Structure formats: structure tokens, C-alpha cells
Structure 1
Amino acid sequence: MGDWAGVVIGLVLFVVFSPGLLFQLPGKGRPVDFCNFQTSGVSIFVHSLLFFGFMAIFLIAIDVHIGSG
């Protein structure tokens, strides 16, 4: 009950990999657009793959733990 790593890492990665918030990969005419607040189906797919990959790296490969007591 004390491992908060999944919640904290998931929250941070969700904000970082939200398409169009900080960056969009692929962009609407360029490979990368920054802070355009728009999205497309392809960018949602790419960002979800990035989110899953980094989540798996942090939780499974590196085995990060954040304890609450």
C-alpha cells in the first residue's frame, strides 16, 4: 500500500507526453511542433507508445519505488 511510484511517474509522464501541450510528434507540417495545443490521430498514437515505453522502463526495467511510510 505504500508504493506511489506508478501514480507519480504516470502523472508526470501524462503531462509531458500529452500531445500538443509541450510538444507534438509528428507536427502539422514539421516533424516536431512545440506548444501548439492541437493534436491528430497519428500524434496520439505516437505519444501513447512513448508513454507506455517510458512507463515500462521506469517501473519494470529500473524498478523505481516511492514509499509513503
Structure 2
Amino acid sequence: MADWGPVIIATVLFVLLSPGLLFQIPAKGRVVEFGNMQTSGGSIFVHSIIFFGLITIFLIVIDVHIYTG
């Protein structure tokens, strides 16, 4: 049996937290911009910290597992 929980959660979070796709923190002119499809070094850093925090919560604290087979 394969545990697909970490793979699915990491993929979904990676897509949703891509800077500029849904939102961008910090934006160029504001604190938050939605759907602007642009990025910067600061927003990449902030989004990677948010990704790390959420992946830690889902995989270590909540201990999500999805088994197949």
C-alpha cells in the first residue's frame, strides 16, 4: 500500500500557493493582490514560508494519510 497523502497535499498546496496565481503577498503596490500573475523575490519567500507552515501542519501535526491499493 502506498501512502499518497503527502504527495497530494504537497501538490495541491504548491499549485494554490504559487505567487500570483490566487494571491500575492507582498504585492508591488499593496499588501495583497489577487490574480495578478506576477511575482517577486519577497513574495516567493513569503509564500514558501506559508507553504512550509501548512505542509508541516497537515503532515506532522494532523498526520494525514491516503492509502491506495
Decide: shared fold, TM above 0.5.
Answer: yes
Separation in 2, partners of 1:5, 1:56: 13
Structure 1 residues without counterparts, runs of 5 or longer: none
Which residue is 2:51 aligned to? Answer: 51
Matches within 5 A, 1:1-69: 1-69=1-69
Separation in 1, partners of 2:52, 2:66: 19
Percent of aligned positions that are identical = 67
Separation in 2, partners of 1:20, 1:44: 10
Task: Compute the displacement of 1:2 (Å).
Answer: 1.2
Alignment length (residue pairs): 69
TM-score relative to the length of structure 2 = 0.96
Looking at secondary structure, tell me which structure has more strand per residue.
2
